[in-house]
Amino acid sequence: MRYLIVAFCLLLLCPGCDVKHGGNEPMHTREAVDTATVGDEWETYLAQYEGSAGSTIVNMSLKAKVPVSGYAYLLITGVKFTKCKDGLPTQDAFAGLYEVADSVESTVNAHGKAIHAGTFTHECKRLDYYYVTDTIGLRAVLTHLYVQVFPGYEASIHIAEDKPWDGYLKFLYPNDATQHYIADERVIDNLIKNGDSLAVPRPIDYGIYFKAAEDREHFIAYALHEHFNVESQSRTTGEYPYELTISKISPVDIAIINPTGEELRKQAAKYNGEYDGWGCGVVK
């Protein structure tokens, strides 16, 4: 679930949206990323925005660098499309949208220094987010592009100062809960690649580490009460040396595993512990 509460003006972060970017539930998705820079890490995720799906493509690599000095202005620009289903593009809409996005990227980069932070698609609009150093004349060149080259689309251009990069940090970048969901998806994707049917119930192992043996014992009491089985206990090194593996039988269903993991994470924190994720054997 998306717990992030955004203080930044929603009309800037998400032009045309009527709800805050908070309380949204991640959805299973693997939309292809249509743009990338060598060395960058791009991630795609879907979330519900009060009943309406939205898709975000974000450059995760920027997190360690922002705010980038000199790139003080946020440009949000894109088009509304008609080949739309449930607020997202139909398959035959992507070619045209990619052409628009590529042309916009070329125009923005030709105008001056720019960093592409991500893309947000919602309610039949696809918007690209750029941080730029100079906005003089930018609106004019983009308006000319849309009018002359893409007259069949309804375009939007929003430019505002954003020195702290709130648009990236508080809107595009996934919060912790969404990142956990994405990580769970990756485990499931690996199982699928190895031929797992997912539907067959099997023991799902969950790992937790604790600072003290006493904390682990208290957590075990909680886990047994919640009908988990204790699979193993061991001691390693580091800040959380007391390892615990518990399990519960279920199919590999993200609707089961993700909420279970989030609850274990919350409960582990009460006992000075850290949830470390889940795993299981492949069942074909």
d(Cα 185, Cα 181) in Å, to the nearest integer? 6
pLDDT value of residue 39:
62
Tell me, yes or no, whether 284 lies in a domain: no
| Residues 49-87 pLDDT 10s | 777 889 999 999 999 999 999 999 999 999 999 999 999
Per the CB < 8 A criterion, the answer to whether 184 and 204 are in contact is no
Residue 189 inside a domain? The answer is no
Question: Contact at 8 Å (CB) between 204 and 250?
Answer: yes
Together in a domain, 20 and 158: yes
Please answer whether residues 100 and 78 qualify as being in contact, where contact means their C-beta atoms are separated by less than 8 angstroms.
yes
The crossing angle, in degrees rounded to 10, of helices 213-225 and 254-270 is: 140
Taking residues 154-181, what's their average pLDDT?
95
State the pLDDT at residue 271.
97
What phi and psi values does residue 181 have, to the nearest 5 degrees?
Answer: -65, -45
Residue 168 CA to residue 129 CA, distance in Å, equals 8
Residue 131: both structure tokens together: 């941080």
What number of other Cβ atoms are within 10 A of residue 145's Cβ? Answer: 18
Give domain status of residue 239, yes or no. yes
Domain that holds residue 117: 10-172
Contact status, residue 153 vs residue 100, Cβ threshold 8 Å:
yes
pLDDT exceeds 90 at position 40: no
pLDDT in tens, 107-163: 999 999 999 999 999 999 999 999 999 999 999 999 999 999 999 999 999 999 999
Q: Are residues 165 and 60 in the same domain?
A: yes
Same domain assignment for residues 71 and 202: no
More confident of the two residues 100 and 20: 100
User: What's the pLDDT band for 24 if we cut at 50, 70, 90?
Assistant: very low
Is residue 68 a contact partner of residue 48, using CB atoms and an 8 Å limit?
no
Q: Are strands 202-210 and 273-279 parallel, antiparallel or unpaired?
A: antiparallel
Q: 11 pLDDT exceeds 60?
A: no
Mean pLDDT of 185-207: 95
**Residue 250, in any domain of the structure:** yes
For residues 38-49, average pLDDT: 81
- Residue at 168 is within a domain: yes
CATH number at residue 229: 3.30.70.970
Whole-number pLDDT of residue 98: 96
CA 273 to chain centre: 25
Cα–Cα distance, 103 to 94 (Å, whole number): 14
Domain co-membership, 136 together with 259 = no
Give me the pLDDT at residue 53, please: 86
Q: How many domains does the chain have?
A: 2
- Which three-class secondary structure state does DSSP give residue 251? coil
Integer angstrom CA distances of residue 82 from 88, 97, 123: 10, 11, 10
Q: What is the pLDDT of residue 52?
A: 85
Residue 63 lies in a domain: yes
Q: What is the pLDDT of residue 51?
A: 73
Inside any domain, residue 182: no
Tell me what the pLDDT averaged over the chain comes to.
87
Residues 17 and 135 in one domain: yes
Are 264 and 140 part of one and the same domain?
no
**Res 46: pLDDT:** 87
Question: Do 21 and 87 fall into the same domain?
Answer: yes
Q: Answer yes or no: is pLDDT of 12 > 70.
A: no
Amino acid making up residue 226: E
Given this model, what pLDDT does residue 47 score? Answer: 83
Does the structure show a pLDDT above 60 at 19? no
Is 79 a member of any domain? yes
| Per-residue pLDDT tens digits for 246-269 | 999 999 999 999 999 999 999 999
**Predicted pLDDT of residue 56:** 95
Same domain? 212 vs 149: no
- Is the same domain home to 157 and 122? yes
